[in-house]
Structure 1
Amino acid sequence: MTAKEFVQAFYKSDALIDQSVLKDFIHPEIILDWDSSEGSIQMNYEGLLQYVKQLQNAYIRSKIRISHIMEENDLISVRYAHFVKTVENPREEIVVAQFMVIWQIKEGKLYRGHQMSQISK
């Protein structure tokens, strides 16, 4: 599997709402630098697992729609929209935010990420 195919598999999976799935995709030394409309944060392995646990409690379904994906060596750039169905309203799919991320792959896992997002209104 190429690095690009690996990242596509990550976003097609339930990794953003299931910790056990997420563990299959992330390197133990992962660092995600995330600049959002709310501010900047940095997450490591444990921080990402906790974040996904919060999403798992709020959303019953998560879907990613990739509009752009490019590969260069061990770097994959992805532009996508994140859609969810909430516990409170499971019949309506809403877009949470638009994302742009550059992932570095190491040892077949997501290793370094540089992500920007903007909440959809």
Structure 2
Amino acid sequence: MNVTDIVLNFYKTDALTNHHAIVALLHDDLEVTWYSTEGYLHFNKEELIDYTIKLEKAYSKSRYDITHVLHDKNQVALRYTHYVSPIDNPEQELILAHFMGIWEIKDQKLYKAYVMSQR
């Protein structure tokens, strides 16, 4: 599997609302650096899985509208919008945020991520 497929597979598995689907995709030494509208966030593998579990409780479903994908060697850059449906109103779809991210792949797994988001 090439690096672009590895990253896109992460998003196709409904990454941030299905922790069971992403565990196998994450490198044991995963590091995520995220600058969000809420401030600076930093996750290792366990912390990202815990964060995903919290999102699963808040949203019934989510989807990603990926508009740009670029890759160079072991890195993939994406631009996308993340849509979610709240648990209390599953028919409603909201924009969670607009994202720009760069993923680094190591050993065929997601190793490092640098993410920025804006609501």
Map Cα deviations across residues 64-112 of structure 1 (whole Å, 9 max, x no partner): 1101000100000000000011101111111100000000000011100
Q: How is 1:69-88 mapped onto 2 (pairs within 5 angstroms)?
A: 69-88=69-88
SS in 1 for 2:55: helix
- Distance in 2 separating the partners of 1:24 and 1:93: 28
**1:44 matched residue in structure 2:** 44
> What is the identity, as a one-letter code, of the residue corresponding to 1:31?
E
SS in 2 for 1:89: coil
> What is the identity, as a one-letter code, of the residue corresponding to 1:21?
A
**1:33 matched residue in structure 2:** 33
For structure 2, the residue ranges without an aligned partner over 5 or more in a row are none
Instruction: Quote the offset at 1:20 in angstroms.
Output: 1.1
> What is the identity, as a one-letter code, of the residue corresponding to 2:105?
I
Structure 2 length normalisation: TM-score? 0.96
Q: How is 1:84-95 mapped onto 2 (pairs within 5 angstroms)?
A: 84-95=84-95
- Distance in 1 separating the partners of 2:25 and 2:59: 20
**2:99 matched residue in structure 1:** 99
- Distance in 1 separating the partners of 2:38 and 2:2: 33
SS in 2 for 1:9: helix
Count of matched residue positions in the alignment of Structure 1 and Structure 2: 119
Structure 1 length normalisation: TM-score? 0.95
**Aligned-residue identity in percent:** 36
- Per mean C-alpha deviation after superposition, the further-off stretch among 44-53 and 15-24 is 15-24
- Per mean C-alpha deviation after superposition, the further-off stretch among 101-110 and 15-24 is 15-24
